[in-house]
Amino acid sequence: MRAMQTPIFQLDAFASRLFAGNPAAVMPMAAMPEPALMQAIAAENNLAETAFIVRDGADYRIRWFTPSVEVPLCGHATLASAAVVMERLEPARRAVEFQSASGRLGVARTSAGYRLDFPARHPRQVEAPAQLAAALGARPAEVWADEANYLVRLASAAEVRALAPDFATLERLDREGVVVTAAGDAGFDCVSRCFFPKKGIPEDPVTGSAHCGLTPFWAARLGRRELRAFQASKRGGELRCVWQDERVLLEGECRFYLEGSVDI
């Protein structure tokens, strides 16, 4: 069987420079491949997410895969996909919409990068799972949860930055991931770190989807709808966030790292 050649782009998303933010692969396709093939490609790419995009009328369909599973929502790979569309495939465009498992996701150019229009998540306060404190190595001040993740507030940004979790124990919890946060330092309104061992991602460098819950959470506490957020992973990433009730706007930049093609 003859191999099919398809473009591939790798970008650092939510980053103002290379080697920061969250790397994502973006693969524009003529038609959406079978899920097993997309999963195999994502495992081969071995990045937090690979986005597959297909032209659909005036806009695009999008799906995201980690090296081990398909996910219903991904911020940084959507940001990277929008940059590919507006800087490589259709450079005259100023905005694009993606049809996804989480509905329609809009991305528009801004003076400083791109702004994503995503669905808000509304966590509710819950009792801490029995193993959570031991898994994190820190005592939660509060534990909240939405349909996807536990959201754990710690007493300080320093505690968030110092975490060294037990990923095997986190993987046994009954949520896809654990988002740990505290009031911000260094001029930021909040800081966070995100752990997704169930998805094959022990720590995600910068997580747009997590800020769909973090933004309403901190906006309510701080009494304002616009926030500066920092994800304190080793690579680090900054997001500008706006809470609009059922939607969250996330703004960030992208940097192209690799452009080429693959034979499938």
138: three-class secondary structure by DSSP: coil
Residue 66's nearest CA partner among 81, 86, 56, 52 is 52
- Kindly report, residue by residue over 62-76, the tens digit of the pLDDT: 999 999 999 999 999
Say yes or no: 83 and 139 in one domain. no
Q: Are 251 and 113 in contact (CB under 8 A)?
A: yes
Q: With b meaning 16 or more CB within 10 Å and e meaning fewer, what string describes 4-31?
A: eebebbbbbbbbeeeebbbbbbbbbbee
Enumerate the active-site residues: 49
Residue 255's nearest CA partner among 3, 21, 7 is 21
Say yes or no: 116 and 128 in one domain. no
Say yes or no: 149 and 60 in one domain. no
Q: According to the model, what pLDDT value does residue 1 have? A: 52
CATH number of the domain bearing residue 222:
3.10.310.10
Say yes or no: 221 and 145 in one domain. yes
192: three-class secondary structure by DSSP: strand
Say yes or no: 108 and 133 in one domain. no
Q: Are 209 and 74 in contact (CB under 8 A)?
A: yes
Q: What single-letter amino acid sits at 159?
A: E
Query: For residues 211 and 207, what is the distance between their CA atoms, to the nearest angstrom?
Result: 7
Record the pTM: 0.96
The tally of domains found in the chain comes to 2
Q: Residue 65 sits in which domain range?
A: 5-120+251-263
- Kindly report, residue by residue over 175-203, the tens digit of the pLDDT: 999 999 999 999 999 999 999 999 999 99
